[in-house]
Amino acid sequence: MNSKYFGDSYDLAKRFFIKVLKSEGYAVYADPIFTDDDAEMKRKYYSLIGAKPIDGPRSKMTALFVDPDTGIGKKVTKKQKHVTIQELADRLKRGKYTLIMVFDQSFRRVKKNSFPHKQMQKKLSDFSRQDVFGFFFKSHANFFFGSLDKNLVEKYRCKLLHLGIPSNRFYPTKKHKKRDCSRSL
């Protein structure tokens, strides 16, 4: 999280997804991975996005929002701009969180207005090898949602579909029948 971008439209998207998680009964914690030392921004960050610092007490249904400056990368960089798939999987496996959400701007676009499906598929395969189920929300602000429990991920995806987000915004795109998602809600 870089302070020069604090309060931008990406933060509003983060707040939306966190609000939906909270409406589903999750206690949501955030790990913003700050890249600079702007103390005032750090104080305001949690209030803006609507999450708690990670050092708070845990409840049964917990979600962790990880907010690196750039996204999910192959390795941790010196300035902590990336978080790795291994690190995210380890956080889930420790059992403190049941669902994880990650802001991911690490995709390179090959063609204008195209979505990086091959890169998303590679990351999903890497998560799968770590026993993490998930999907991407694809937009100008990309997010990964994952869990060790496939049902939790699908329930959250169904909630987003129920709120009116078009299915083509998710990768992989799944054909959900109305009754499939109504069972999940």
Query: What DSSP string describes the chain?
Result: --GGGTTSHHHHHHHHHHHHHHHTT-EEEEE---SS--HHHHHHHHHHHT-EETTSPP-SSEEEEE--SSEEESS--TT--EEEHHHHHHHHHTTS-SEEEEE---PPPSSTT---HHHHHHHHHHHHHTT-EEEEE-SSS-EEEEES-HHHHHHHHHHHHHTT--GGGEES-----HHHHHHH-
The CATH class for the domain spanning 3-184 reads alpha beta
Q: What is the pLDDT of residue 80?
A: 59
Per-residue pLDDT of the chain (185 residues; tens, 9 = 90+): 667 778 788 889 999 999 999 999 999 998 887 777 777 887 888 889 999 888 765 667 899 999 887 788 776 666 556 788 999 999 999 988 999 999 987 765 545 555 577 888 889 999 999 999 999 999 888 999 999 999 999 999 999 999 999 999 999 866 655 557 766 55
Q: Which of 14, 27, 146 is nearest to 89 (CA)?
A: 146
In this structure, are strands 82-84 and 170-171 parallel, antiparallel, or unpaired?
A: unpaired
Going from N- to C-terminal start, the domains of the chain cover 3-184
Q: Which of 119, 103, 106 is nearest to 73 (CA)?
A: 106
